[in-house]
Amino acid sequence: GVIEIPVVVNVLYKTTAQNVSQAQIQSQIDALNKDYNATNTDFGSVPALFSGVKANVGIRFVLDAVYRKSTTKTSWRLDDSMKKSTKGGINPTRPTTKLNLWFCNLTSGYLGYAQFPGGASATDGVVIDDNAFGTTGTAAAPFNKGRTATHEVGHWMNLRHIWGDATCGTDYVNDTPSHNTANYGCPSYPHYSTCSGTPVEMTMNYMDYTDDACMYMFSSGQKDRMLAIFSTGGARATFAQP
Ligand code: ARG
Ligand code: CA
Ligand code: ZN
């Protein structure tokens, strides 16, 4: 069946706009559900070349609770302080059975960051910048389709960047092509890799760095890699449904 993940949203706000509405929070949950269940409206835009590997991951996200805290901090560094009440943040709630998301203003240039499976429970989860969270309110183009969370939750479920963080590096998924490096903006199709065999790059994959409007698929190999962590013995087996 479909894996169901309870989601706890931790909101750290300085301005009233940052004390996001329930509607903006739900817009992020809805975007995750579309992207992880192949019901995103742009799923049909995947080029024919990749139609055989585009995947319905089949993971459902359910909003479980929202915690809010006002802060005097204008922006947060990527040092996990937002996850610690002793540093002005909010501790995660039951991180072995719930996905914790933190909403805060990250230091300039950062859209989000995630902890990979196997890390400390106390810092487990995903952090999203206030301007890249959900699809309304403080979300700002070109990162206002909720896909920073789609990308970060991909990391949280063990996915690597599609270019493998190196020139023609590996993401340990065999149905994704080798990418020369990260792609930004909205590349025109086809965009050829300079790597061995010069394959067409899958720039519309959520694990690239393109704009929200230009990323709309996971591959079957990525799906397998994500689902593996929820199986018996996997790093997130505690999330699996009975
Ligand atoms: N730079 C971030 C990371 O490496 C996220 C990029 C998300 N991209 C987007 N179009 N929302 O995890
Ligand atoms: Ca921001
Ligand atoms: Zn990333």
Q: What is the pLDDT of residues 47-98, one digit of tens each?
A: 999 999 999 999 999 999 999 999 999 999 999 999 999 999 999 999 999 9
Percent of the chain with pLDDT over 70: 99
Q: Which atom of ligand 1 is nearest to the CA of 211?
A: 10
141 CA from centroid of ligand 1 (Å) = 13
Rounded to whole angstroms, the Cα distance separating 96 from 93 reads: 9
Output the pTM of the full model.
Answer: 0.98
pLDDT of residue 70: 98
What confidence tier does 236 reach under pLDDT thresholds 50, 70, 90? very high
161 CA from centroid of ligand 3 (Å) = 6
Q: Please check whether residue 127 is in contact with residue 114, taking contact to mean a CB–CB distance below 8 angstroms.
A: yes
* Six-digit token string for 27: 């817009």
What confidence tier does 242 reach under pLDDT thresholds 50, 70, 90? low
152 is catalytic: yes
Q: Please check whether residue 74 is in contact with residue 108, taking contact to mean a CB–CB distance below 8 angstroms.
A: no
Rounded to whole angstroms, the Cα distance separating 232 from 183 reads: 35
Residues near ligand 1 (Cβ within 6 A): 111-113, 132, 143, 147-148, 151-152, 209, 211-212, 215
Q: Indicate which residue's Cα is closest to atom 4 of ligand 1.
A: 113
Q: Among 80, 152, 208, 212, which one carries the catalytic annotation?
A: 152
Q: Please check whether residue 174 is in contact with residue 60, taking contact to mean a CB–CB distance below 8 angstroms.
A: no
Q: Please check whether residue 171 is in contact with residue 161, taking contact to mean a CB–CB distance below 8 angstroms.
A: yes
How far CA 198 is from CA of 72, 141, 194, in Å, comes to 50, 32, 5
Task: Give 193-219 pLDDT, tens digit per residue.
Answer: 999 999 999 999 999 999 999 999 999
Single-letter amino acid, residue 59: I
The residue to mutate among 101, 111, 115, 161, having the most atoms of ligand 1 within 8 angstroms of its beta carbon, is 111
As a whole number, the mean pLDDT across the chain is: 97
Single-letter amino acid, residue 203: T
